[in-house]
């Protein structure tokens, strides 16, 4: 028998693979609801991660975790909106989160800080978090049910086992369970690559745009500029993979030549100095065919990933984690509803994801005006045109849009009642 953590079989209600925003949110809330949760995280936090600009939807799960005051106290930069050099408008245009309603701001943050804050909170709420722990495989029984995982601990010999009623994969793009238990569909329209670095001594955008994210299109791609702290900006360039591979320039050289085409971004950087080397990542959107199966379920990038054009990743991951924690809480109390409850979670999540991805796909057509993009958002999340189209646009890119309300408002009571009636 494989060695376990404690020398005996380790049994939990839930095992969460990965302690990023999706895993830590799910684990923290499940612990708060009184369940025994094990989180296995491959790295030791704080660890670097890209994804530094947040949208207001993230504030819903952060409030549930009791973290909003700590985010403010940490000095994260408040983000009230965005400035876009995009489409065929002659001048840059802005959006403000206040137009979208109830949550007027989010934050820009170094992910090492944010992710540590959430993972520490999961610990504080009662989750057992083990870092330097790499999950290798699911334990699959003869009937196909996943009942646990096998993992290794950095610096120690042997493969260990842990078991639980349910295994949640929040391992991000590693897709530890997804790659073994389901198929992935890659989105060829959003097959991109990103290269980024950091600058010191940057100028801010003027006036009300002070803390906006800047998104500036160029001939072959687009740049982000995110104000982090003390004059430091994160600056990244995204282009299609075929453009990058068809060019005789390296990604870094492409970054440097394309940046000369920008206007607003060059204003920000005119007295700045590059303060870090370049990093790059594949930025290819995908979705897993199934988000759950017998004894397992996916959340965050482990389930689906969409291009970062609107900084939706962390909000999607944590909103889905919040929803999943409530669904799993009900499943642990009423195990017979597992399949139907996870079906509902998956459909709501896929709908939410689909809305955002459709919008991002449409937004990549840069031949249009901002009015077109507003109407596109309205067609997706408010087809009856109850709101002004600009409001629909901001709601969608805030992660707080119409159909998406279902993601964090799943009612499972009919499943529980029906089962009770049948048993009677
Ligand atoms: C270029 C780029 C720019 C982006 N910009 C933004 C942005 O501005 N705003 C935004 O919101 N999002 C952005 N994103 C997306 C964002 O980074 C992700 O959506 C977000 O990190 C998802 O959180 P997660 O918890 O699902 O996954 P992750 O944050 O990736 O966490 C997964 C965790 O699982 C751990 N893990 C992996 N394998 C194992 C294993 N075998 N065993 C144990 N642990 C494991 C990892 O170490 C990691 O800590 C960007 C993405 C890219 C590629």
Domains, the chain, ordered by start: 10-184+285-411 (3.50.50.60)
Residue bearing tokens 């329209």:
189
Name residues contacting ligand 1 (CB within 6 A).
17-23, 40-43, 49-54, 134-135, 170-172, 174, 176, 194, 281, 283, 300-302, 308, 311-315, 317
- Average pLDDT in the chain: 93
* Its pTM surpasses 0.85: yes
In the Cβ-directed half-sphere of 330, how many Cα atoms lie within 13 Å?
Answer: 22
List the one residue out of 83, 81, 79 whose CA is nearest residue 265.
83
Ligand 1 centroid from CA 173, angstroms: 7
- Check residue 202 and give left, alpha or beta (phi > 0: left; psi -120 to 50: alpha): beta
pLDDT in tens, 334-366: 999 999 999 999 999 999 999 999 999 999 999
- Please give the distance, rounded to the nearest whole angstrom, from the Cα atom of residue 344 to the centre of ligand 1: 24
Distance (angstroms) between ligand 1 centre and the Cα of 111 equals 9
Residue nearest to atom 4 of ligand 1 (CA): 51
pLDDT above 90 (res 207): yes
* Closest-lying ligand 1 atom to the alpha carbon of residue 315: 11
The closest-lying atom of ligand 1 relative to the alpha carbon of residue 53 is 8
| Per-residue model confidence (pLDDT) at position 421 | 44
Q: Which atom of ligand 1 is nearest to the CA of 133?
A: 43
The answer to whether the CB of 183 falls within 8 A of the CB of 192 is no
| Res 1: pLDDT | 47
Ligand 1 centroid to Cα of residue 110, in Å, is: 13
Cβ partners under 8 Å of residue 418, min gap 6? none
Question: CA 172 → CA 49, 176, 301, 309, distances in Å?
Answer: 11, 8, 4, 18
Whether the pLDDT of residue 423 is over 60: the answer is no
Which atom of ligand 1 is found nearest the CA of 312?
11
Largest CA distance in the chain: 75
What is the per-residue pLDDT across 115-135, written as a single tens digit (0 to 9) for each? 999 999 999 999 999 999 999
Q: How far apart are CA 270 and CA 334, in angstroms?
A: 60
Which has the closest alpha carbon to 348: 291, 281, 294, 397? 291
Alpha carbon of 314 to ligand 1 centroid (Å): 8
Higher pLDDT, 100 or 258: 258
pLDDT classification of 4: cutoffs 50, 70, 90? low
Res 201: pLDDT: 97
The pLDDT of 159-182, averaged and rounded, is 97
Query: Count of alpha carbons within 13 Å of 382, Cβ hemisphere only?
Result: 21
Per-residue pLDDT for 2 more than 60? no
Please provide the size of the chain in residues.
424
Q: What is the pLDDT of residue 404?
A: 57
Lowest average pLDDT, out of 33-42, 115-124, 294-303, 395-404, goes to: 395-404
Distance (angstroms) between ligand 1 centre and the Cα of 280 equals: 14
Q: What Rg value do the Cα atoms of the chain yield, rounded?
A: 22
With tokens 């459709």, the residue in question is 358
């Amino acid at each position: 028998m494989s060695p376990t953590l404690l020398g005996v079989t380790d049994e939990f209600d839930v095992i969460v693979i990965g302690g990023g925003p999706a895993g830590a949110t799910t684990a923290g809330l499940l612990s708060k609801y009184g369940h025994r949760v094990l989180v296995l995280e491959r790295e030791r936090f704080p660890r670097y991660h890209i994804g530094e600009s947040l949208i207001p939807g993230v504030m819903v799960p952060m409030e549930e975790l009791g973290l909003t005051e700590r985010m403010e106290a940490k000095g994260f930069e408040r983000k009230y909106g965005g400035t876009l050099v995009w489409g065929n408008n002659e001048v840059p245009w802005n959006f403000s989160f206040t137009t979208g309603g109830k949550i007027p701001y989010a934050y820009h943050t170094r992910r090492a800080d944010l992710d540590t804050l959430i993972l520490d909170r999961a610990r504080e709420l009662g989750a057992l978090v083990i870092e330097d722990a790499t999950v290798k495989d699911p334990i699959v029984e003869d009937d196909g049910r996943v009942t646990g995982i096998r993992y290794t601990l950095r610096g120690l010999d042997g493969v260990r086992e842990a078991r639980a009623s349910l295994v949640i994969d929040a391992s991000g793009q590693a897709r530890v369970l997804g790659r073994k238990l389901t198929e992935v569909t890659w989105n060829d329209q959003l097959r991109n690559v990103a290269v980024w670095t950091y600058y010191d001594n940057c100028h801010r955008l003027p006036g009300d745009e002070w803390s906006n994210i800047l998104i500036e299109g160029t001939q072959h791609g687009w740049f982000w500029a995110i104000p982090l702290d003390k004059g430091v900006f994160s600056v990244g360039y995204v282009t299609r993979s075929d453009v990058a591979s068809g060019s005789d320039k390296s990604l870094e050289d492409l970054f440097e030549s394309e940046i000369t085409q920008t206007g607003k971004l060059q204003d920000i950087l005119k007295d700045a100095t590059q303060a870090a080397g370049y990093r790059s990542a594949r930025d290819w959107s995908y979705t897993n065919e199934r988000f759950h199966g017998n004894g397992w379920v996916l959340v965050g990038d482990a389930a689906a990933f969409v291009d970062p054009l609107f900084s939706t990743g962390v909000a999607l991951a944590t909103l889905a984690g919040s929803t999943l924690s409530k669904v799993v809480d009900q499943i642990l109390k009423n195990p017979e509803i597992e399949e139907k409850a996870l079906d509902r979670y998956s459909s709501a999540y896929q709908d939410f994801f689909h809305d955002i991805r459709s919008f991002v796909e449409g937004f990549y057509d840069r031949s249009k005006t901002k009015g077109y993009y507003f109407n596109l958002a309205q067609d997706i999340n408010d087809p009856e045109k109850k709101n002004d189209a600009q409001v629909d646009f901001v709601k969608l890119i805030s992660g707080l849009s119409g159909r998406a309300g279902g993601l964090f408002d799943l009612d499972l009571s009919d499943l529980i009642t029906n089962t009770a009636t049948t048993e009677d």
